[in-house]
Structure 1
């Protein structure tokens, strides 16, 4: 069943139940059932994001490579679906006093603090996407220059300049964290940029920018510092969905930081504080291990970011630079065919980036505002409970 279908039926089910008059015992049993369904939905959604195993039938193999733009967008869709179900379980039609009882009186404020850190990460990631769009434009210049036939010194020099700028820019990003985009978020600067792309222009100035000394790696570390799996009776109560959603939030933010250029990523932790015996977390743990392995390779080799399209720009750009450095007119037929193949692949990568990066920015904007709204809803519940307690006294 598609995610949106079983999400709708799940939310409707909870809404109906909360409006019914039930005994406390029956209510507890149905809450346990809802928690089991939530865990199943989380497991199923992340299983769909996992790369196929060798034994998986070819018809079931997903078309989007892990850490590609399209895959990241699917990951954000999963986050939004899980967040909707999480809020339904925790606050839909529920007595506000339950949210203020132990251990939720401690877990909810910790979760809300993670939300604030996630908002900063969304800002930084949006800035990073602008850096990726810059790389795309440089690659497009090289493609445009080398597509002209026959090859001439002028086209080759133009392509070499663009490709050198591309590789240098990605290397600087890897070292400095895309510093040149620190002061703006959710869109491109200037009226000209907004005019060039209406969709992007609508994203401008929707949140604060991150500070000069801000570190994505430190934010991720702070988000995971007090994230502990519930034990004993708490493992079957409302502490469980809080832990699950906090884990999902941490994983999504960590993945985006590892994948998309982001300010100060050096030292990004690869440890994931989730017990491996948790059934709902198996796919998340598997994805984390795979991404962490790639991140370690990246740090060791000093290569470009983990985004699939960026890795292709780096690989193809290096190859084409070798061609431009050794070019002599007229180009050999065999060498020209090889360059044409690389150009076709580079052009296709640029096309996917052109189609996917702006929608990805829009989606991150949606995630940002969802986190803001969810946080506000929990604060309202806590405030309502505080007022009720004051009146009772």
Structure 2
């Protein structure tokens, strides 16, 4: 869906809720309108993830599943879902409506998941820093091999860079003892951040707590994630559950795609409600991502980001070329290498164009989570004060 159409649809939806909440309606009319808004919110969530699922086809014009461009679409859709969720649950409501059962239990659970997502955002942002270092190694190889004729000196430089690239890609941080206490979050940089980020081979856990695990964090976020039943399934409990599910799925996807500290066991599916139609495209995406994860887990490769998988394949092939290189090389082999170097250069360009905006989106998700949690805490605090007996 084009961004302009998506924005217009969301603006129309948010505006509609705002108008309705300000209208004086009968109780029956208000209930009917709210049910319609809840259904529309569910439909929008389903449609957004259907678009993401349909873009994973073999159509070369589409963004490949787990590519940088696809992840950016995922985060755009997540932010849209989050904005509509707050409108449905909070806009124009009295605090007492949000604090009463079952939301008095479900909302704190969502707010706890938001807190856990902050560490995920930090870890993913650090993983993106590592991807930038890998990109630089690939660029060194491209510069060395994009020569005519290719000599032994260029091949040696390319092999050194590619060997470092492949080695870095298979260095999963399975030993959390390498890490140090977390010293950075978005908006703050420690004094030695710049120097530490320069090392392409350093453990990605350098700013995360020693015992922190991205897989355990995801599993903690997905615990107690149960679909509302009975009368609750048609009330405000439903959008809270939907938003919790979307949050967990998006964080799970980011950790799968981008190298993060300790992802052992991440391939286990996050429980999604098969009986609810809005979740069907999410389940389809989860199955595809889990399949990719299982393939790469056997090789110990960092993440299933599409660009990284291509770098791994090209790096291994070009190292084989370098190992058997003799000057002058065969014309046929040189033509094959030229095509691979062009593909490697194309990947580098995509990473150069996409990694920084992706990191900025992660930063936006981080700040949005903080802001949303703060807004709900204020409403719950107001409800508590109103409910307290006057003295």
- Give the alignment partner of residue 280 of structure 2, picking from 275, 279, 282: 282
- Residues 124 and 379 of structure 1, relative CA distance in 2, 3 Å threshold: same
Partner of 1:22: 25
In structure 1, the residue corresponding to 2:106 is in which secondary structure?
A: helix
Whether the aligned pair in 2 keeps the contact of 1:146 and 1:155 (CA below 8 Å) is yes
Q: Does 1:3 align with 2:6?
A: yes
Q: How does 1:189-228 map to 2 (within 5 A)?
A: 209-228=207-226
Quote the residue 1:197 is aligned against.
none
Which one of the candidate residues 323, 326, 335 is aligned to 1:325? 323
- What does the per-residue CA deviation read over 1:231-289, in whole Å, with 9 as the maximum and x for residues that have no partner? 11010000000000000000000000000000111111522222212111111111011
Unaligned runs of 5+ in 2: 196-205
Q: How does 1:137-156 map to 2 (within 5 A)?
A: 137-156=136-155
2:77 aligns to what? 78
Please name the residue that 2:64 is paired with: 65
Q: What secondary structure does 2:329 align onto? A: coil
For residues 212 and 192 of structure 1, the distance between their equivalents in structure 2, rounded to whole angstroms, comes to 17
Distance in 2 between residues matched to 1:21 and 1:37, nearest whole Å: 21
Deviation of the 1:79 alpha carbon? 0.5
Structure 1 unaligned segments of length 5 or more: list them: 195-207
**Whole-angstrom CA distance in 1 between matches of 2:322 and 2:273:** 51
Equivalence for 1:253: 251
Indicate conservation of the 8 Å contact 1:66/1:308, yes or no. yes
1:200 corresponds in structure 2 to none
Counterpart mapping for 1:283-362 below 5 A: 283-362=281-360
Question: Residue 171 of structure 2 contacts residue 302 of structure 2 at CA under 8 Å; is this kept in 1?
Answer: no
Classify 1:3/1:314 alpha carbon distance in 2 versus 1 (closer, same or farther; 3 Å). same
Task: For residues 142-186 of structure 1, give each alpha carbon's deviation from its aligned partner in whole angstroms, at most 9, with x where no partner exists.
Answer: 110111221111111111100000000011136558967965455
User: What root-mean-square deviation, in Å, do the aligned CA atoms of Structure 1 and Structure 2 show?
Assistant: 2.4
SS state at 1:173 partner: coil
1:266 alignment counterpart: 264
CA contact (8 A) 1:100 1:385 kept: yes
Aligned to 1:371: 369
Q: Distance in 1 between matches of 2:190 and 2:148?
A: 36
User: What is the Cα deviation at residue 303 of structure 1?
Assistant: 3.0
The whole-number CA distance in structure 2 between the counterparts of 1:252 and 1:177 is: 24
Contact 1:185 1:209 in 2 (8 A): no
Alpha-carbon distance in 1 for matches of 2:177, 2:310: 19
Aligned length: 377
**Mapping 1:36-55, distance limit 5 Å:** 36-51=39-54
Query: Greater shift after overlay, 42-51 or 235-244?
Result: 42-51
Q: Tell me if structure 2 keeps the 8 A contact 1:131–1:178.
A: no
> Cα distance, 1:325 vs. partner?
0.5
Secondary structure at the counterpart of residue 72 of structure 1? helix
Of stretches 287-296 and 112-121 in structure 1, the one that deviates more from structure 2 is 287-296
Q: In structure 2, do the counterparts of structure 1 residues 62 and 153 end up closer, same or farther at CA, with 3 Å as the change threshold?
A: closer
Q: TM-score, normalised by structure 2?
A: 0.91
| CA distance in structure 1 between the aligned counterparts of 2:248 and 2:207, rounded to whole angstroms | 20
TM-score of the aligned structures, taking structure 1 as reference length = 0.90
**In structure 2, distance between residues paired with 1:46 and 1:219:** 23
In the TM superposition, residue 298 of structure 1 has moved relative to its aligned partner by 1.8
Distance in 2, matches of 1:148 and 1:179, equals 40
Q: Deviations over 1:75-94 (max 9, x none)?
A: 00000000000000101110
Output the CA distance in 1 between the equivalents of 2:390 and 2:37.
Answer: 31
